[in-house]
Amino acid sequence: MHRHSCHHPPAGVGGVTISRARIIAVGDELLEGRTVDTNSGCVQRALAGAGIPVVGVEVVPDDSDAIGLALSRTVTGELVVLTGGLGSTPDDLTREAVATWAGVDLAEDSTLRRRMTERWQRRGVSRRAGVERQCQVPAGCEAVENPVGSAPGLVGRLAERTVVLLPGVPAEMESLLPLVVALLRGKDLLPEVGPQRLWRTAQVAELALVERCAAVRSAHPDLHWSWWLTEWGCDVRLAMNAGGDESVFDQAAADVDEALGRVAYSRGDETLPAAVQRLLLAAGRTLSVAESCTGGLIAARLTDTPGASACFSGGVVSYADRIKVEYLDVPAEVLESHGAVSEEVATAMAAGCRRRLATDYALAVSGISGPDGGTADKPVGTTWVALATPTVVFARRYRFTADRPRNRLLTVAAALDSLRRLLETDDSISPWYPGDTWSRLR
């Protein structure tokens, strides 16, 4: 796999600037195959944005010795982020294990105690057993109040490392993370960060993206390039060390913009459904969807983002053929003669959905996600995506080669990205891709 890491050298502020981090994820549940450790990825992203690469993650059980051993393997000067084990039950041991490892005492933080007591009073609950432990702080650490839960974050300088303790509940961890980064920034512990840019794409192979950027890369050998595979595409990230000539970076970013052209659905963190929502809102247009093989997944993704109701009217999951006929006005004889997975049916679904649900655009998909249902003519993965506009219906045939869940996800991406491309090109009636078919609406 083609990948270039992005290195941010320490900016040299007094020699105490953090230059790298290590994560220790604590929890029996992370070792039993039931809970996936998504916290480490959040911490990695937050620290990458702050210019600090994570060089390792260790997952350990709720066990003082295992936590201590992992701490002893960290290196002087590193930022050590521990997640999990800050609750109030006896198997939450992280606070104590850190104090033991660092050789410092745990003591009650009176400010924290007062805030917690106020919190209980606001919620009308009496003091709960075990919560006293959450007021205990290792000497040398300060507490960061948790906006959404009881366990505070803890930040301190221990054993020549900068140590951060965060609760394991993802929502609590995510709320505390920016507060902790701001606190480290305020203490001048983070390096200066140079400019960064992100482009997100779907429907393009990683190698094709690398090729598109080849000329810009040769012209700018000092910039840092990263290629990240996402659930349905690939992201390109460009970064420059702090202190470089930002006009050079801006020129390079402009050149990447041009090289990627319509391929990038987002020039930032925006997701593909959010990009579609933004474009529809800006154009004052509405969308509906008619789904067979994706079974509601396109609609589900479109409504992941709050505010979808302003441009997304709804859809029809036409899993059974009779629903294609009755709800989407697909002629029964077209279904009969061409089969459900065909250009004719996908086109009729899109046109029918647009008319019946009275929206400006309609997306329709019909395909064979697998593992069964394939034939010699129409192997598993064969999928038609159609897009009805106020004047035209476009259709495109795909042949995905992954398993059922991934074929469905790639279909969602193909449908949303097709509409995104159309909306970004002023609603022209030119086909999206060379070789696409299109027909005027009746």
Site for its own copies in 296-335 (CB under 8 A): 296-300, 302-304, 306-309, 312-320, 322-323, 327
Q: Which is nearer to its own copies, 57 or 279 (CB)?
A: 57
* Residue list 236-275, contact with its own copies (CB under 8 A): none
Q: Which stretch in 26-34, 108-116, 211-219, 261-269 sits in contact with its own copies by CB under 8 A?
A: 26-34
Strand partners, 165: 82, 154
Task: Decide: is 11 part of the binding site for its own copies (CB under 8 A).
Answer: no
Q: Which stretch in 11-19, 129-137, 229-237, 382-390 sits in contact with its own copies by CB under 8 A?
A: 229-237
Q: Which is nearer to its own copies, 12 or 307 (CB)?
A: 307
Q: Which is nearer to its own copies, 109 or 383 (CB)?
A: 383
Residues 205, 401: Cα–Cα separation, whole Å: 14
* Residue list 60-79, contact with its own copies (CB under 8 A): 60-61, 66, 73
Collect all residues with Cβ–Cβ distance below 8 Å to 79 and sequence separation of at least 6: 18, 20, 21, 22, 47, 52, 161, 162, 163, 164, 184, 189
To the nearest whole angstrom, how small is the minimum distance from the Cβ of residue 107 to its own copies?
26
* Residue list 164-203, contact with its own copies (CB under 8 A): 171
Task: Decide: is 38 part of the binding site for its own copies (CB under 8 A).
Answer: yes
To the nearest whole angstrom, how small is the minimum distance from the Cβ of residue 112 to its own copies?
22
Half-sphere exposure of 218 (CA within 13 A, CB side): 4
Task: Decide: is 48 part of the binding site for its own copies (CB under 8 A).
Answer: yes
Q: Which stretch in 39-47, 128-136, 253-261, 387-395 sits in contact with its own copies by CB under 8 A?
A: 39-47
**8 Å CB contact between 2 and 208:** no
To the nearest whole angstrom, how small is the minimum distance from the Cβ of residue 89 to its own copies?
6
Return the sign of the alpha-carbon dihedral for residues 240, 81, 105, 60: negative
Task: Decide: is 404 part of the binding site for its own copies (CB under 8 A).
Answer: yes
To the nearest whole angstrom, how small is the minimum distance from the Cβ of residue 232 to its own copies?
13
To the nearest whole angstrom, how small is the minimum distance from the Cβ of residue 193 to its own copies?
15
| List 226, 251, 437, 439, residue binding its own copies (CB under 8 A) | 226
Phi and psi at 386, nearest 5°, equal -125, 150
Q: Which is nearer to its own copies, 2 or 442 (CB)?
A: 2
To the nearest whole angstrom, how small is the minimum distance from the Cβ of residue 105 to its own copies?
27
To the nearest whole angstrom, how small is the minimum distance from the Cβ of residue 31 to its own copies?
5
Task: Decide: is 12 part of the binding site for its own copies (CB under 8 A).
Answer: no
The token duo for 23 is 């994560």
Task: Decide: is 427 part of the binding site for its own copies (CB under 8 A).
Answer: no
Q: Which stretch in 35-43, 256-264, 388-396, 421-429 sits in contact with its own copies by CB under 8 A?
A: 35-43
The site for its own copies, by CB under 8 A, has a size of: 80
To the nearest whole angstrom, how small is the minimum distance from the Cβ of residue 250 to its own copies?
24
| List 109, 206, 235, 417, residue binding its own copies (CB under 8 A) | 235
| List 194, 352, 367, 370, residue binding its own copies (CB under 8 A) | 370
Task: Decide: is 399 part of the binding site for its own copies (CB under 8 A).
Answer: no
| List 54, 166, 236, 335, residue binding its own copies (CB under 8 A) | 54
* Residue list 84-123, contact with its own copies (CB under 8 A): 87, 89, 91
Q: Which stretch in 1-9, 259-267, 329-337, 415-423 sits in contact with its own copies by CB under 8 A?
A: 1-9
